[in-house]
Chain A
Amino acid sequence: MKPGKWHALAVVALFLALAGLSYVTSDPRAAVSRPERWLRDAVAPVQAALSAAARWVEDTVETVASVGRLQEENRALREEVARLQGQLRELEQVRRENERLRELAGVNQRLEREFVAARVIARSHSQWFSAVTINRGAVDGLRPGLPVVNAQGAVGHVESVTARTARVLLLTDLKSAVGGMIKDSEMPVLVEGTGDPAGREALVRPLVVGHRLEPGDEVVTSGLSHIFPKGVPIGVIEEVRDDAQGLKQLAVLRPHVDFTRLDWVTVILDGEDGEVRWWPEDEAEEDSAEQ
């Protein structure tokens, strides 16, 4: 066979191999192959360091901006402010860090479950997918399928883990589907990701015929998808669309979580069982009912 034909055969074989590989990996996978694990673990320390640097720059810029405003209001203290700027910057960064951790601690208190706090060290490799990498992995007890939340509500679930990192599939990924319910009526719905790169919307499909969705309905997890416990906030319905016959409804939901600014998250280790009392008024209601 001529070399030109060998080349053509090699290209066809490569194309077929890649097509096969694409087919096999078109859905989120819990199992991670060894080369994938090596690559993720090799890149993770660099990502963690760069994320920390990015956060420091972001915090410093914000702090400097707020210091600038203060200077205008307090001209008399300008010299004093200039002298204290360095200390202020550091304090401000510590305050923000504390705020985030306090928020997280608040969530963790509400969860009353076994959990692991983790930090987002990397975003998805491509805007076509909605996933993040966190700095906790199998050695911390994480495994595929565990629910991930933050102070605002449901974030997603652990898709796959390596020894020290985990990939979290966000609620807004095209392949994400979570069981939800309307908070007030407890009507079951399915919350599906749209793949929106900004993570600003998800779709809600009612699972009960005849029950109407309304804009403003609060959606929480139902516990039926075997990922999240019941009661974790997901978002608010913004818009409701009917199909041509008016028989089926489809709603657009705005998630509570800001998926573009994820930092600290909590991985719930004891899974989907039971219910979460997320809002303080829920606890108050339950207490008064008990009395």
Chain B
Amino acid sequence: MTAARARRGLTLLAALLALAVQTSLFAGLDLGGIRPDLVLVVVVAYALASGAWEGALLGLAAGFLVDLYGGRLIGVGTLAKAAAGALAGFLGEKAFREHALVHAAAIFVSSLGSNGVYLVLARAFGLDWPLGWGIGRVILSGALYDALAGIVLYPLLARAYRAGNRLDDRILPSAEGG
């Protein structure tokens, strides 16, 4: 197994755990019905460290898992999370990545992008959410809450970075040797 594959697999597992946490443990933390999207936080953290292409791929996989779990509009969330991953990866290539505020900003922008894509595609498939609260309450409030979650979770994400780097160090020599 290459380091990249192991990293992808572990991050996807983390995204699945994040889904379980955001639908249960974080259910009581809603503000006006808005809850943080922890799967997005995981996707953005991975994309910042791994680049736009990798971020898009992980967003695609994690988004598909979330869609499959939700059972509604399967594919729309997949594309939205892929867009978020690509966007965050692109931002990561341009900015200093290991900083809590960079994380928060990347999460905010990616959340806006992801939910914007979701709203547009969902409306194309006949789900006419009112644009007023769609943009104001879900997209903007959601992006703020996601960014806040990113700041709170930053120590955990930074530790995950370091663990990922250690994984690279451990697996790469054996992969190169064997």
Contacts and interface: CB of A to CB of B under 8 A. Distances in A.
B25 A51 contact: yes
B125 A122 contact: no
Interface in B10-57: 16-17, 19-28, 30, 32-35, 37
A199 B33 contact: yes
Q: Interface residue tally of chain B, by bracket?
A: 35 or more
A50 B118 contact: no
B164 interface: no
B137 to A, nearest CB: 7
A275 B162 CA distance: 62
Contacts, number: 131
A17 B142 CA distance: 28
Contacts of B128: 174
Contacts of B130: 194-195
B173 interface: no
B9 to A, nearest CB: 16
Contacts of A199: 33
Given A43-B20, A125-B66, A128-B129, A50 B25 contact: yes
B116 interface: no
A125 B69 contact: yes
Contact of A174 (B19, B28, B127, B142): B127
B38 to A, nearest CB: 11
B71 A26 contact: no
Interface residues of A, number: 51
B70 A125 contact: yes
Interface in A249-277: 260-261
Given A25-B74, A26-B126, A174-B128, A197 B24 contact: no
B24 A29 contact: no
A29 B73 CA distance: 11
A32 interface: yes
Contact of B32 (A19, A121, A125, A197): A197
Interface in A20-69: 20-26, 28-29, 32, 35-36, 39-40, 43, 46-48, 50-51, 53-55, 58
A62 to B, nearest CB: 11
A22 B120 CA distance: 13
B65 interface: yes
A143 B163 CA distance: 45
Contact of B73 (A26, A36, A54, A195): A26
Contacts of A136: none
10 contacts: A24-B74, A36-B71, A43-B69, A54-B24, A55-B28, A122-B23, A126-B77, A127-B142, A197-B30, A198-B32
Given A43-B19, A126-B37, 15 more contacts: A18-B79, A25-B73, A40-B69, A43-B23, A51-B24, A54-B25, A54-B27, A58-B28, A124-B23, A125-B70, A126-B66, A174-B129, A196-B133, A197-B34, A261-B28
